[in-house]
Structure 1
Amino acid sequence: MCLAGVHPASAHRLDEYLQATTVDLAREGVTLRLRLTPGVDVAGRVIPQIDRNGDGVISAEEQQAYAGRIAQSLSVTLNGKSVSLRAESGSFPTRSAIKGGEGVIALQFSVSGVLQKGTYHLAYTNHGAGPDTVYLVNCLQPQDQGVQVQGQKRSTDQASYQLDFTVMQ
């Protein structure tokens, strides 16, 4: 009875810029999905990085430019060789959602190339957006049973990640 007037609290990120990455493996290549969530206390520093002209509108050109800067802050190697990332898609929340700590910027990048049969070592580093940035990274369970994850290693802060996997015939 005492709970009748209680409303669930909505949680909003406060003093960190969360950059969560998932790695999706398939024979057709590697996909990185980033979910970037600026906290309330850091949103004022992140928004000007996106809305470069300060007009209060996050234009398509500003979204593409920010996605490009994020891609440049990532380094990916496959079997010791640097690979380039291709922007696949992205979505940006409103400025008010970002200011409220609930706006999630979703970006998707792919690594070009079909994966042939063999053993692979992927190394990923997110150089981030500053001292308030925190990281999470994980590999998704491959949908293709012919792609097997062998092991994952992360740095303590998860800005650096290593993934060993095998592609079967």
Structure 2
Amino acid sequence: MSRAAQALFTAIALLALPAAAQAHRLDEYLQATTFSLTRDHIALHLRLTPGVDVAPGVIHEIDRNDDGSLSLSEQHAYVSRIMQALSLSLNGRSGPLLVRAMTFPSPAALQTGTGVIDLELTMQGRFRQGDNHLAYHNRGNGPGTVWLVNCLLPQDPAITVIRQNRTIDQSSYELDVSVSVP
């Protein structure tokens, strides 16, 4: 197995670990991002998992009227706030992130540390032939926020991941890819 394939397998295993091990996060707000690349857009899959100790604050952030439920308008407002903390650029050009899908668990599930807010975002942007550079920053903060970020192996054989760089806390991520003639 190549080094890149091993790294990808490890990253996917780590992202799946909380569910597979039935672990309950305690004092962290995990924000795990995976990237999927195609020639004309970048997909981000953002999974937000508040631990038991930080869940009440996250729930309060979403449930602004404190009625114990997460209305669709409250969910949209929370996603907007999350997206304001994200920046993504391709070859130095930023583009708007669009919400493709969002799923919110119940407040009860969030309180147990197993509820995951699941966001699927995209940015339109065409990769040019040759070298390309993607830069991502997640400025989401709050009590105990931790980040994970990785890129999935591109399905298009013309797109090759060259290098990934992360800050130590993984709130910032840079990805270099090369696109060859199909």
Q: Which runs of 5+ in 1 are unaligned?
A: 1-8
Deviation per residue, 1:40-97 (Å, 9 max, x gap): 0000110011111111111111111111111110011111122211111110001000
Runs (4 or more) in structure 1 with deviation over 4 Å come to: none
C-alpha separation in 2, matches of 1:77 and 1:133: 23
Q: Tell me how far 1:131 sits from its aligned partner.
A: 4.1
Secondary structure, counterpart of 2:53 in structure 1? helix
C-alpha RMSD of matched pairs (Å) = 1.3
Which one of 159, 164, 170 corresponds to residue 147 of structure 1?
159
Structure with higher Rg: it is 1
Gaps of 5+ in 2: 1-20
> Secondary structure at 1:144's aligned position in 2?
coil
Q: Which position in structure 1 is the counterpart of 2:33?
A: 21
Identical counterparts, % of pairs: 54
> Which residue of 65, 68, 72 maps to 1:60?
72
Partner of 2:61: 49
TM-score, structure 1 normalization:
0.91
Query: SS where residue 81 of structure 2 aligns?
Result: helix
Q: Which residue of 2 aligns with 1:98?
A: 110
Q: Normalization by structure 2: what TM-score?
A: 0.85
Q: How many residues align?
A: 161
Q: CA deviation at 1:28?
A: 2.7
Residues 54 and 143 in structure 2, CA contact (< 8 A), matched pair in contact too? no
Provide the secondary structure at the position in 1 that maps to 2:25.
coil
> Are 1:127 and 2:139 counterparts?
yes
Q: Which amino acid aligns with 2:138?
A: N
Provide the secondary structure at the position in 2 that maps to 1:71: helix
Structure 1 residue 118, shift from structure 2 partner: 3.1
Matched residues in 1 for 2:175 and 2:143: separation? 25
Question: Does residue 113 of structure 2 align to residue 82 of structure 1?
Answer: no
Q: Deviations over 1:25-47 (max 9, x none)?
A: 11131001100000000001100
- Tell me the equivalent position of 2:121: 109
Give, in angstroms, the shift of residue 116 of structure 1: 3.6
Amino acid at match of 1:152: Q
